């Protein structure tokens, strides 16, 4: 089947996509964030709506144009992400967690700017909720797709995340390889399926990778509907 003529195989499927970084405030002028560009998540949202899905995109701050024909919810912190996702989860068929949420946040947000004359601040961090693992615990019939940007390609770690978060599929990439992850327009990923299959995909544009991920999503969703 030609890539550019996939039919509306996701008609009626309610897909919630998370994308981009999160931002955790230290004080009114300083934040903790990461270099996620949102490109993979936005490519997924765009491809899903083209294939007939009802798409909600929960996005951290990114500099990408909004996707037409979808609901866009903007968030900043990992707690905001959890709130937005939990609110819609019961009306979702597929959650695709492409966001890069911060695992930690400063224990307190200073209400005034930290001044140099106070010396170097000692920032205490506390854990953020794991949005995807929380949804994994709460899922009824939802399909869950996770992402893992790693600095090594460790299959055991991929399997651990797949099981711990109760995912149907984990999209794994090694961001230290050239043309992979974060700001890049291309990606090179390995798909780990819950039932044990592993698919290594050739390096391709994020748009093409999005289509392949949605092929797998469509197959899972159609199987579940029967």
**Is residue 44 involved in binding ligand CTP (CB under 6 A)?**
no
Q: How far is the CB of 103 from Ca ion (least distance, A)?
A: 4
Q: How far is the CB of 24 from Ca ion (least distance, A)?
A: 13
Enumerate residues 98-117 that contact Ca ion by CB under 5 A: 103
Annotated binding-site residue? 115: no
Q: Which is nearer to Ca ion, 103 or 108 (CB)?
A: 103
Annotated binding-site residue? 139: no
Query: Which one among 43, 47, 55, 132 touches ligand CTP, defined by CB under 6 A?
Result: 132
Q: Is there a catalytic annotation at residue 118?
A: no
Check 34, 112, 173, 207 and give the catalytic one: 34
Spatial separation of the C-alpha atoms in residues 16 and 13, rounded to whole Å:
10
Kindly write out the interface string for residues 148-187 of this chain, putting x where it contacts ligand CTP by CB under 6 A and - elsewhere. x------------x--------------------------
CA distances from 106 to 6, 33, 102, 112 (A): 45, 12, 11, 14
Q: Which of ligand CTP, Ca ion, none sits in contact with 130, Cβ below 5 to 8 A by type?
A: ligand CTP
Annotated binding-site residue? 125: no
| Interacting residues with ligand CTP (CB under 6 A) | 78, 97, 99, 101, 103, 128, 130-132, 146-148, 161
Binding residues for CTP: 103, 113, 129-132, 147, 161, 165
């Amino acid at each position: 089947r030609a890539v550019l003529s996939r039919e509306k195989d996701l008609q009626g499927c309610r897909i919630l996509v998370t994308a981009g970084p999160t931002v955790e405030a230290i004080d009114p002028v300083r934040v903790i964030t990461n270099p996620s560009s949102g490109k993979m998540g936005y490519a997924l949202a765009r491809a899903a709506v083209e294939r007939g899905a009802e798409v909600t995109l929960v996005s951290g701050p990114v500099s990408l144009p909004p996707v037409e024909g979808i609901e866009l919810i903007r968030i900043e912190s990992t707690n905001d992400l959890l709130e937005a996702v939990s609110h819609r989860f019961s009306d979702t068929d597929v959650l695709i967690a492409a966001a890069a949420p911060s695992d930690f946040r400063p224990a307190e947000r200073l209400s005034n700017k930290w001044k140099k004359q106070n010396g170097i601040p000692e920032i205490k961090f506390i854990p953020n909720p794991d949005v995807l693992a929380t949804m994994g615990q709460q899922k009824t019939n939802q399909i869950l797709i996770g992402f893992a940007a790693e600095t090594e390609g460790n299959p055991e770690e991929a399997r651990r995340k797949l099981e711990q978060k109760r995912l149907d599929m984990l999209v794994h990439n090694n961001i230290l390889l050239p043309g992979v992850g974060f700001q890049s327009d291309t990606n090179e990923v390995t798909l780990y399926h819950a039932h044990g299959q592993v698919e290594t995909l050739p390096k391709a544009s994020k748009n093409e990778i999005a289509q392949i991920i949605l092929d797998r999503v469509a197959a899972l969703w159609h199987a579940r509907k029967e």
